[in-house]
Amino acid sequence: MSDSEDENPDKQLKIVIMGDGASGKTSLAVRYSQENFGKQYKQTVGLDFFLRRIVLPGNIHVALQLWDIGGQTLGGGMLDKYIFGAHGILLVYDITNYQSFDNLEDWYEKIREVCKDQPKLPHIALVANKSDLEHMRTVKQEKHQRFATENGFTSHFVSAKTGDSVNLCFQKISAEILGIKLTKPEVEQQTRVVKADIVQYSNAESVPRATPQQNTRSSLCSVQ
Ligand SMILES: Nc1nc2c(ncn2[C@@H]2O[C@H](COP(=O)(O)OP(=O)(O)OP(=O)(O)O)[C@@H](O)[C@H]2O)c(=O)[nH]1
Ligand SMILES: [Mg+2]
């Protein structure tokens, strides 16, 4: 006899989050592991850890260890150790900061250097963050696509601020690493839908409140 945990232990995945300072790496880790976002920038010194457990199709239990690396570590002596043994690496940039995209070449070079004796590189995901700031975008989508395609990266567009596609990003990366195919409904389930009631106020009253008649006409707004 064995209990269900013994039958189905967590698969441990080491996921390293890399990229320039202020691109939003910590914000992504915090959004994913704590469903939270802070506007204030607090630089990561060295390394921080986050953990999230998920269940993938086929009742596969996965513990994602997120290694959130400070942007200043590029060029430092510890980066090799942080990268070593990673199953997946997120290369994160800020869509409003071209330099943060350009510098990913240097981060990628470091990964190749550290992994040069391994039979294959870890799964690498190119992550465009701050998609809520589309109006300030300086990195063209074609540039992103070309960089991803040329190097065999998977491609993700997210916002740590709104949470848009953050779950989906980590879900896809984990599934890909473990060779699990996600069906369309499983992907859609991870797509965040923001729902809001539409409330129309009566002009005749000074204190605004929703009228029953108006509510029956239009009750839900769904923004994706
Ligand atoms: N608008 C917007 N701001 C974001 C988003 N993600 C992060 N930020 C902001 O960008 C700033 C930097 O975010 P961090 O997550 O600390 O950046 P980091 O990559 O961890 O930076 P280092 O620790 O220095 O490497 C903070 O002020 C965040 O609030 C996003 O998706 N949208
Ligand atoms: Mg940080």
Query: Which domains can be identified in the chain, with CATH numbers?
Result: 11-190 (3.40.50.300)
133 Cα nearest atom in ligand 1: 1
The residue with greater pLDDT, 183 or 153, is 153
pLDDT tens for residues 38-94?
999 999 999 999 999 999 999 999 999 999 999 999 988 899 999 999 999 999 999
pLDDT at 208 over 80: no
| Any atom of ligand 1 within 6 Å of the Cβ of 41 | yes
Condensed to tens digits (0 to 9), the pLDDT of residues 4-33 reads 555 667 899 999 999 999 999 999 999 999
* CA–centroid distance, residue 93 to ligand 2 (Å): 12
pLDDT of res. 207: 45
Q: For residue range 129-148, list pLDDT tens digits in order.
A: 999 999 999 999 999 999 99
The minimum-distance atom of ligand 1 relative to the CA of 130 is 31
Tokens at residue 219, please? 């009750």
Question: Which one, of 86, 91, 90, 92, lies nearest residue 115 by Cα?
Answer: 86
> From the CA of 21, how far away is ligand 2's center (Å)?
7
Burial of 213 (0-12, 13-18, 19+ CB in 10 A): exposed
Q: What share of the chain in percent tops pLDDT 90? A: 75
Q: What is the pLDDT of residue 198?
A: 66
Q: 129 in ligand 1 pocket by Cβ < 6 Å?
A: yes
One-letter-per-residue 3-state SS of 36-81: CCCCCCCCCCCEEEEEEEEEECCCEEEEEEEEEECHHHCCCCCHHH
Q: Is the CB of 217 under 6 A from ligand 1?
A: no
- Residues 93-102: tens digit of each pLDDT: 999 999 999 9
Which ligand has the nearest atom to the CA of 37? 1
Q: 191 or 98, which is more confident?
A: 98
Run of H or E including 15: strand 11-18
Which has more pLDDT, 96 or 190?
A: 96
CA of 55 to the centre of ligand 2 (A): 27
Atom 32 of ligand 1, nearest CA residue = 130
* Cβ(74) – ligand 1 distance below 6 Å: no
Q: Where are the beta strands (DSSP E) in 59-202?
A: 60-69, 88-94, 123-129, 154-157, 194-196
Token pair belonging to 203: 């002009």
